[in-house]
Structure 1
Amino acid sequence: MGPAELADRLGRWSAGRGPLYLLLAARLRRLVDEGELPPGTALPPDRALASALAVGRGTVVAAYEQLSVEGRIVRRQGSGTRVAGPAHPGPRKTTNAPVFLHLLEPQDDDVIVLTCAAPTSPPPMLLTAYERALSQLATVTDDLGYHPSGHWRLRQAVADHYTRRGVPTVPEQVFITGGGQQALSLLARAFVQPGGTVLVEAPTYPGALEAFREHAASLEALPVGLEGFEARLRTPGRRPELAYLVATHHNPTGAVLPSLARRRLAAAAAAAGVPLIDDEVLAPLTFSGEQPAPPPLAAFGDTAISMGSLSKSVWGGLRVGWVRAAQPVINRLARLRAVHDLGGNHPAQLAAAELLPGVEDLCRETAAVRRARHDHLRAELTRRLPQWRIPAAAGGQTLWVRLPHGDGDSFAQTALRHGVAVLPGSGLDAAGGSKEYIRLHFLADPDTLTEVARRLAAAWQAYGGETGRDVPAPRAMAV
């Protein structure tokens, strides 16, 4: 196992109290005991793992020695370090956990987590929607609750949502899922054969990369906005089986694809017969004062596939998403879903049907707060870390920060030891690039974001970077 892969498996191992070598040994012990590192697995050399984790070699040596004494690993001169026990023949009994799964694990109370971006508390309108949904359930007498394509009321609400946005849609063109991640997974199952090519942006949403890799896709990266898409389709060779992009408030850069580029992408995909997924989960999150985003790609071509969810606009715990596509695609997804799940959560779908007509108003109400927090974090980071490149976004939930030197993977480890969990850029780039970037979300309250900037400045100084002088904010003029 390579050092980068093991570092991903370790997750936020250093977010605790005590010597680093004991924290590292504890996390390795857990991976061994739970079978994530099966017997016979070769572990990285001391120096290589230390470099990936941004720690001294002595930390890794001490952790390995601790596990060696416990009998969990074996270290031999000339043959390296391995998990104790013979390698199991045949298929592995475990599966590689996706990188982002580690981001959802419980953390030390003192760590400020900026890796997963979603509202942290449900708005009052969600509680009201559930009350209405439960009152509707009280009158149900002839419904088994099995709806593989989704409850009809929610399918109608999603269809109306797209029709209002300039994409005429009927309920038969809508498929309801248990969130955006399930939508991506089902679309990958529907379109991708093992070894088939999927075109993605570099960087992009890491959950999409994991969904496509789970189905053994060969990922081919293009710049943000799928720049070069048309030329790629004209290149002789195997046609891509699928293309994926985040056209509105791109994750992680916040970019918005112009209307003309959307039209050209949709036309090129339709002409080549390549399904084109437009991930709209972040589309409603435009800041106050910004121009409204262009229509979905589906407005420019019937073969474009739109997907969305309520997790970013309402609450992450509301696991309701959807796919809007041609009816044959919807029918195919329903057949695939029924093999594992005869229908989604009925009360949640009824609540979502109540919520969806008001989601755009909710996002407009919160737009000023999101913009203020975006501006606040940028200002604090710029004041303390003037060497960092922090472009402004027009919406969404994240900043895409370029470090002046070093790499995001090792700096993320240093930042964690200073109490901030950030997402390194390499995990968002299928081409192996973006190593000099980190992703931060700005959804926390201003006081927390100020503390984030202070901790990151301390981490950068420890990492070997120079920080700016802590200049006090100017006094407001009396008028």
Structure 2
Amino acid sequence: MSVDDRANTRPVDHGSAIPAPSAGSSPTLVRAGEVASEALSARLGRWTHGDGTLAARLSRGIEALIAGGELRPGDRLPAERALAAASSVSRGTVVAAYADLAERGLVERRQGSGTRVAGAAASVAPVQRQGRGEALFSALPNAIDLLRTVPQISELGVQLISEHKPRLELALLPETDPAGLPALRTLIADMYAAEGTPTTPEQILVTHGAQQAISLVVNALVSPGDIVLAEEITWPGVTDSVSLRGGTVHGVPMGPDGLDVDALEQALARLRPVLVALNPHHQNPTGSRLPAAARHRVAELAAQYGVPVIEDRVVAGISFDGVVPPTLAAERADAPIIVVESVSKWVWAGLRIGWLRADPVLVRRLRGARQLADQSTSVPGQLLALDLIARVDDLRRANSRIHQERLRLLQELMAEHLPDWKVEPPRGGLSLWVRVPAGSADALARVAAAHGVSIAGSAAFAVSVSPDDHIRIPFTAPDDVLAEGIRRLGAAWREYRETLGMPS
């Protein structure tokens, strides 16, 4: 394979990477488990100001870095003399601070190995935690389901599926490649090239839907104890996958247009993540679309820090204003961007055909993992995907028109049954992220359940504790189901509003 066949023009380590400090930047805090004295002193900031002795203040500052994840179990703190010199304090101050941390069990001091942050690296066995995504598949019996975003199929989609005739010369192949049928990988690569992202078939891995693609990447790149960055509000399929591996997801703040890229850069420098997972185009659930300058900056940061970025594009093509942003991978060729997509959202949710685009080296690695998981993707499904992806532009436009009309219907229904709710429609996607005027989204969901409609609030999507003030309303259900669901939600809101003492 030539260099020209690679997604990235330089080798990229698809694990944890520590960037070299750029001009004018702060020195890297930790390299290979060793905490640099100058970097630690700089990161502690103005720790000498405050209450208590200097040793107590230094101890509290280091404790805060441990609590925030910047210092991790096993990291070796600087020698006492080195930190004292870097911080312009006496060695006795550092000795006393380390002693206080050791007494409280935050660090371990051993002869010959120095002072290390307490706790072993996370065990090989992942910690099993309850998945948040389960809530989106838990509609109550006989209740209207406003939890899931199951898109409607366009007439063109129905036609293509009905008229599909499998190519027998491909269907009868004696063996199947875990990476996907060569013809399908080539077609997907050509699709990306036509959209402005030069791609070779060796960069494509076909999967059972986008979620399997995300899970394969997480399983390959995340180890117990690792940190992954994602938007503070995001699809739980990402956070649940990381949790199953024993990793931790840190949420990056968002604004009206999506991810706060400045906050992302700070998190990359502080937390040393092994992976970033983003949904920048018609983000699920917020519907935000990352501006062009911010997309370019994300690609630059991925290249600068050497940290792989999963770009979830499953609803990028469902655009109500005709704008379909290019991939993040198109912004910078040497950035380790892993593009994930599928046909499920813009053709048919029942067809579980997805894929990822990545460096061929990573694709080969994931191909081996895929072979252990389920051998390969269904050949009949891949053959049908050939017909559908050949009409990708027409199908995306048809799907966008359908769901733009469904969004208008939802707005009309909300104006009738929830007139005091402020609605800001997204520019694409399949759901509305709407703020509850008062009270708790979780409490409203419980009242709504009693009225026979299931909804998901902020807790199902928040990476950590967040304001309990939004719900997601998909606009994918048939007209009569959506109309009855919003009518019931309106009745639930009126009942809940009375408990808050709000005027009718």
Deviations 1:329-385 (A, max 9, x none): 111111111122221111101111111121221221232331122122123213432
What residue number does 2:325 align with? 294
What residue number does 1:271 align with? 304
Any conservation in 1 of the 2:252–2:264 contact (CA below 8 Å)? no
C-alpha distance in 2 between matches for 1:130 and 1:343: 25
**What secondary structure, in the 3-state scheme, does the structure 1 residue paired with 2:229 have?**
strand
**What secondary structure, in the 3-state scheme, does the structure 1 residue paired with 2:273 have?**
coil
**What secondary structure, in the 3-state scheme, does the structure 1 residue paired with 2:205 have?**
strand
Deviations 1:241-278 (A, max 9, x none): 10111111111111111111110110011110010111
2:215 equivalent to 1:181: no
C-alpha distance in 1 between matches for 2:485 and 2:492: 10
What residue number does 1:438 align with? 471
Counterpart residue type for residue 329 of structure 1? L
Counterpart residue type for residue 425 of structure 2? A
C-alpha distance in 2 between matches for 1:144 and 1:212: 36
C-alpha distance in 1 between matches for 2:211 and 2:192: 20
Any conservation in 2 of the 1:286–1:396 contact (CA below 8 Å)? yes
2:416 equivalent to 1:416: no
Q: Which runs of 4+ in 1 moved over 6 A?
A: 466-469
C-alpha distance in 1 between matches for 2:179 and 2:170: 22
- The 5-angstrom pairing of residues 374-453 of structure 1 reads 374-453=407-486
1:453 Cα deviation from its structure 2 partner: 2.3
Which of the pair has more CA radius of gyration? Answer: 2
**What secondary structure, in the 3-state scheme, does the structure 2 residue paired with 1:169 have?**
coil
**What secondary structure, in the 3-state scheme, does the structure 1 residue paired with 2:356 have?**
strand
Deviations 1:286-314 (A, max 9, x none): 01xx1412211011123211100111111
2:229 equivalent to 1:195: no
Counterpart residue type for residue 456 of structure 2? L
Any conservation in 1 of the 2:252–2:267 contact (CA below 8 Å)? no
Match of 1:305 among 338, 352, 365: 338
Any conservation in 1 of the 2:259–2:280 contact (CA below 8 Å)? no
Q: 1:226 to 1:217 in 2, by over 3 A?
A: farther
1:468 Cα deviation from its structure 2 partner: 9.6
C-alpha distance in 1 between matches for 2:322 and 2:396: 14
Any conservation in 1 of the 2:128–2:243 contact (CA below 8 Å)? no
2:387 equivalent to 1:354: yes
- TM-score, with structure 2 as normaliser: 0.69
Give identity over the alignment, percent.
35
Q: 1:174 to 1:130 in 2, by over 3 A?
A: farther
- The 5-angstrom pairing of residues 5-404 of structure 1 reads 98-104=131-137, 107-109=140-142, 111-120=143-152, 125=157, 128-129=160-161, 132-134=164-166, 136-137=167-168, 143-224=173-254, 225-227=258-260, 228-233=262-267, 235=269, 237-287=270-320, 290-302=321-333, 303-404=336-437
C-alpha distance in 2 between matches for 1:467 and 1:233: 41
**What secondary structure, in the 3-state scheme, does the structure 2 residue paired with 1:316 have?**
coil
C-alpha distance in 1 between matches for 2:324 and 2:400: 14
Task: Give unpaired runs (5+ residues) of structure 1.
Answer: 1-91, 470-479
Any conservation in 2 of the 1:248–1:282 contact (CA below 8 Å)? yes
- TM-score, with structure 1 as normaliser: 0.72
Task: Give unpaired runs (5+ residues) of structure 2.
Answer: 1-124
Q: 1:186 to 1:468 in 2, by over 3 A?
A: farther
**What secondary structure, in the 3-state scheme, does the structure 2 residue paired with 1:305 have?**
strand
Any conservation in 1 of the 2:228–2:275 contact (CA below 8 Å)? yes
Tell me how large the CA RMSD over aligned residues is.
Answer: 2.6
Q: How many residues are matched?
A: 372
C-alpha distance in 2 between matches for 1:158 and 1:461: 49
Deviations 1:61-92 (A, max 9, x none): xxxxxxxxxxxxxxxxxxxxxxxxxxxxxxx9
1:234 Cα deviation from its structure 2 partner: 6.0
Counterpart residue type for residue 350 of structure 2? G
Q: 1:282 to 1:467 in 2, by over 3 A?
A: farther
Counterpart residue type for residue 414 of structure 2? L
1:220 Cα deviation from its structure 2 partner: 0.7
C-alpha distance in 2 between matches for 1:123 and 1:215: 41
**What secondary structure, in the 3-state scheme, does the structure 2 residue paired with 1:210 have?**
helix
C-alpha distance in 2 between matches for 1:123 and 1:100: 31
C-alpha distance in 1 between matches for 2:190 and 2:263: 31
C-alpha distance in 2 between matches for 1:431 and 1:123: 41
Deviating more after overlay: 330-339 vs 124-133: 124-133
